[in-house]
Amino acid sequence: MLFQNKNLQIYIYQNPIDMRSGFHKLTAFVKSAYDMQTLLNGHIFVFFGKNRYRLKILLFDGSGLILIAKRIEKGRFMWIHECEFSTVTYSELEQLLHGSVLRRGKLGEMPKSA
């Protein structure tokens, strides 16, 4: 994959976007939701489209912005409203790019014995 540094933070933008958005609009979303320094540190930002057929990834590699767009051919990407977390790991990003729905286990109470 393109991202060699697996220690980067990967942020999921919490609202679906219009997939016609380019560098300027996506950067504005990052500025409004996160700190601009976060973008300049090379962290990765994932944006989902409203119809869930597409996603975009924005990152800064030190010399400029990189914008990656993916259209899934079968199925759809997960609902952004189902995403209970705003950051994911590198392996979770790989799963997202293949169309998986991310779920994290929750710790609960042990059942009481009868």
Q: What are 27-59's pLDDT values in tens digits? A: 999 988 887 777 888 889 999 888 888 889 998
User: HEC string of the chain?
Assistant: CCCCCCCCCEEECCCCECCCCCHHHHHHHHHHHCCHHHHHCCCEEEEEECCCCEEEEEEECCCCEEEEEEECCCCCCCCHHHCCCCEECHHHHHHHHCCCCCCCCCCCCCCCCC
Checking if the pLDDT of 108 tops 70, the result is no
Neighbour order of strands in the sheet with 10-12: 65-71, 54-60, 44-48, 10-12, 87-88
- pLDDT band at residue 107, thresholds of 50, 70 and 90? low
Percentage of the chain modeled with pLDDT above 70: 75
> What is the chain's alpha carbon radius of gyration, rounded to the nearest angstrom?
16
- Phi/psi for 31 (5° steps) reads -60, -40
Per-residue pLDDT at 56:
92
